[in-house]
Amino acid sequence: MRSSNSSSITPADSGATETFAELLARVQACTVCAAQLPHPPRPILRASPTARLLIVGQAPGRRVHETGIPWNDPSGDLLRQWLGMTREQFYDVARIAIVPTGLCYPGTVKGSDLPPRPECAPLWHPPLRAAMPGIRLTLLIGAYAQAYHLGKRRGRTLADTVHAWRDFAPDFFPLPHPSPRNRQWFKRHPWFEQELLPALRERVGAVLATGDNGNLNNQA
């Protein structure tokens, strides 16, 4: 888990002041669904109180679980390609937070990853999101992230939800999972690469270039 500093926040449930580092320490120590996990809990996320872009995916896969680095796999390579980012830019925790729907590797069944643990997002997303007030855009990658954050606003299918990306601006941007196994999906939906990806890059670029006062950093 990574954090850039320890500014103070106030947890909504206790009324006590808790630093960002203390919140991350609580996340790191979580064992709520340990009995359902194939390995001891290892929450994998990157967060800081200065982050402006939040990336919400599904849950760590085996390789990510082993390395402790989110999106450190071929799906991450494709996601960075979509965003037009280098690894260095993508892993700049001061600007980009990465918090999956389920923070720990849930295991596999018949070679497929299990869904994120249902306890996780309701437990940790609200306090983490509250502790990152600078977030201007949240990328919702895959059906689980969209289900949790969009609820009844999402479409009948993942394609319906993603195709309606303009409806979720300015707070959210729904995306399919960038698994290389989904290449046929990308081909069947040509608007994805032709229309959505250019819009995504433009929106992310604008969010990351914007300062705390809402002005572009390169403007006086």
Instruction: Please say which residue, 49 or 102, places its beta carbon nearer to ligand SF4.
Output: 102
Q: How far is the CB of 116 from ligand SF4 (least distance, A)?
A: 7
Q: How far is the CB of 106 from ligand SF4 (least distance, A)?
A: 7
Q: How far is the CB of 104 from ligand SF4 (least distance, A)?
A: 3
Q: What is the SS3 assignment for 102?
A: coil
Q: How far is the CB of 140 from ligand SF4 (least distance, A)?
A: 18
CB 99 within 8 A of CB 58: no
- Short-list 128, 131, 117, CA closest to 58: 117
Instruction: Please say which residue, 132 or 200, places its beta carbon nearer to ligand SF4.
Output: 132
| Number of C-beta neighbours around residue 103 at 10 A | 28
Within 8 A by CB and 6+ apart from 192, the residues are: 162, 176, 186
Q: How far is the CB of 117 from ligand SF4 (least distance, A)?
A: 4
- Short-list 61, 72, 125, 69, CA closest to 99: 125
- Short-list 158, 82, 77, 144, CA closest to 113: 144
Instruction: Please say which residue, 59 or 200, places its beta carbon nearer to ligand SF4.
Output: 59
Q: How far is the CB of 14 from ligand SF4 (least distance, A)?
A: 18
Instruction: Please say which residue, 122 or 190, places its beta carbon nearer to ligand SF4.
Output: 122
Q: Is 156 exposed, middle or buried (0-12, 13-18, 19+ CB in 10 A)?
A: exposed
Instruction: Please say which residue, 147 or 159, places its beta carbon nearer to ligand SF4.
Output: 147
Which pair of tokens denotes residue 114?
Answer: 């299990």
Instruction: Please say which residue, 11 or 84, places its beta carbon nearer to ligand SF4.
Output: 11
Q: Work out whether strand 108-109 and strand 112-113 pair parallel, antiparallel, or are unpaired.
A: antiparallel
Residues that bind ligand SF4 (CB under 6 A): 30-34, 41, 43, 102-104, 117, 119-120, 123
